[in-house]
Amino acid sequence: MRHPSEGVLRRLVDEPAGVTDDDRAHVASCPACLRALDTARADAELVGAALAAPRAGEPDADAAWARLTSATAPGAVPAFRPAAPAGRRRWTTAVRRPAVAALGAVVLVTGAGVAAANDWLPIFSTERVDPVEVTAGDLVQVPDLSAYGDLQVVQEPDPEVVADADAARERTGLDVPEVADLPDGVSGDPAYQVAGVVEAVFTFSADKAAQAAAAEGEVLPPPPAGLDGSQLRLQAGPGVAAMWSQPTGVPTLVVARVGAPTVQSSGVPFETVRDYLLSLPGLPDGLADQLRDLSADGGTLPLPVPAELVTSSTADVGGVDATVLTSRNGLFAGVVWVEDGVMTGVAGTLSAEELLSVARGLG
């Protein structure tokens, strides 16, 4: 029998019950695996000791509670983020900004990232536990199908900041949505971001998929005829976003418009590739959601919405069904809809009602 992977041995250290009977039986009778298990256990203990907090007794919960309540006293707290007093908590704003900026960028990236669906998941995951740093590299990415074949980005979006709406229109060819009435708390002129078309080609490889399955201890289901070597061409963009920020630089409202993502296939139909990938053992849930919500015609909204993180509903925007997303912690919301292959989104640290009002008033 094959030896269990390092990951399985590592789990055996912590959660023997989480390891299959076969693996446990193998390790118990395999000197090499027993040695590797001992090493894994010793390594885990050493890292645990290195990460152990300095010995300093219990923290003073009373003092900390007093600090928290003074920071949240009425008048000290703006609508959606804590005050950032000077001194000890001076980094608060700086740390918080990336998460908010990431949400701000999401509407743009939803279209600008290949197979835009990908971007909602990490964004809302991060938002749930804000603040989390998300880099541009995290945002502009394709579904990670690399375990199942070759993924080649053939065109990069080259996002950039432009001076005004005219420049954005010139770069993207898109009409930049104009907001008739800014919601309360949003003021000033927006900054404009643009991104070009993103394109990537995925070539399915039965060999790679078999390796991925084997890594999960599974056998690859037989691929449908013609699938090996067939390609998907994933495309999205261009996109433009107008972003309003507070004087501190924290974005409050983003209005964006992008070319809806599309998928084309050569060889077998896209649905065949997708359904087969979905049948594979060990496919991460997030990736499965992204795939499930991709469509070949770009007409449906490719937004996998993790129900435990955000609530989703629909509303009418100018005669089109829009998806309304509200984070469960109430900090962020977004409204997104697709019309004639163009996706438009409004998102921000505002209520869904305020955002719907903006959406319906777009010029």
Partner 1 sequence: MRTDLEQVFRTHYAGVVAVAARVLGSRDSAEDVAQEVFLSFGRSSVPADEAGGWLTVAATHTALNLLRSGRRRSAREELAGDGPTAAPDVADLVVTREERSSVRAALARLPHRQAAALVLRHSGLSYAEVAAALDLSPGSVGTTVRRAESVLLKELNRHASPE
Residue 48 touching partner 1 (CB under 8 A): yes
Residue 14 touching partner 1 (CB under 8 A): yes
Q: Which tokens is 124 given?
A: 């809302």
Q: Considering the complex, state which of residue 8 and residue 317 has its C-beta at the smaller distance from partner 1.
A: 8
Residue 34 touching partner 1 (CB under 8 A): no
What's phi and psi for 266, nearest 5 deg? -115, 150
- DSSP states of 46-72: HHHHHHSPPS--S--HHHHHHHHHHHT
Residue 144 touching partner 1 (CB under 8 A): no
Q: Considering the complex, state which of residue 138 and residue 339 has its C-beta at the smaller distance from partner 1.
A: 138
Run of H or E including 320: strand 320-327
Q: Which tokens is 333 given?
A: 């919301």
Q: Which tokens is 234 given?
A: 């994933």
> How deeply is 182 buried, as exposed, middle or buried, from its count of CB atoms within 10 A (0-12, 13-18, 19+)?
middle
Residue 52 touching partner 1 (CB under 8 A): yes
Q: State which of residues 25, 28, 34, 64 lies at the interface with partner 1 (CB under 8 A).
A: 64
Please list the alpha-helical segments (H only) found in the chain.
Answer: 6-14, 21-28, 31-51, 61-71, 92-112, 117-128, 136-139, 165-172, 206-215, 270-279, 285-293, 352-360
Query: How near is the Cβ of 17 to partner 1 at its closest, in Å?
Result: 10
Task: Give the range of 119-127, 164-172, 179-187, 259-267 binding partner 1 by CB under 8 A.
Answer: 119-127
The CA distance from 342 to 339, in Å, is 5
Q: State which of residues 9, 240, 324, 358 lies at the interface with partner 1 (CB under 8 A).
A: 9
Residue 154 touching partner 1 (CB under 8 A): no
Residue 82 touching partner 1 (CB under 8 A): yes
Q: State which of residues 144, 216, 321, 353 lies at the interface with partner 1 (CB under 8 A).
A: 216
Query: How near is the Cβ of 290 to partner 1 at its closest, in Å?
Result: 11
Residue 213 touching partner 1 (CB under 8 A): no
Residue 185 touching partner 1 (CB under 8 A): no
Give, in degrees to the nearest 5, the angle at Cα 155 between 152 and 161: 135
Q: Considering the complex, state which of residue 54 and residue 247 has its C-beta at the smaller distance from partner 1.
A: 54
Residue 31 touching partner 1 (CB under 8 A): no
What burial letters (b/e) apply to 99-114, b meaning 16+ CB within 10 Å? bbbbbbbbbbbbbbbb
Query: How near is the Cβ of 55 to partner 1 at its closest, in Å?
Result: 6
As a dihedral over the C-alpha atoms of residue 279, residue 283, residue 285, residue 288, rounded to 10 degrees, the angle is -50
Q: Considering the complex, state which of residue 83 and residue 165 has its C-beta at the smaller distance from partner 1.
A: 83
Q: Which tokens is 299 given?
A: 């007409």
Q: State which of residues 91, 181, 225, 247 lies at the interface with partner 1 (CB under 8 A).
A: 91
Please list the alpha-helical segments (H only) found in 280-322.
Answer: 285-293
Binding site for partner 1 (CB under 8 A): 5-11, 14-15, 18, 39-40, 42-56, 58-59, 61, 64-65, 67-68, 71-72, 80, 82, 88-89, 91-92, 94-95, 98, 121-122, 125-126, 128-133, 216-217, 282-286, 328-331
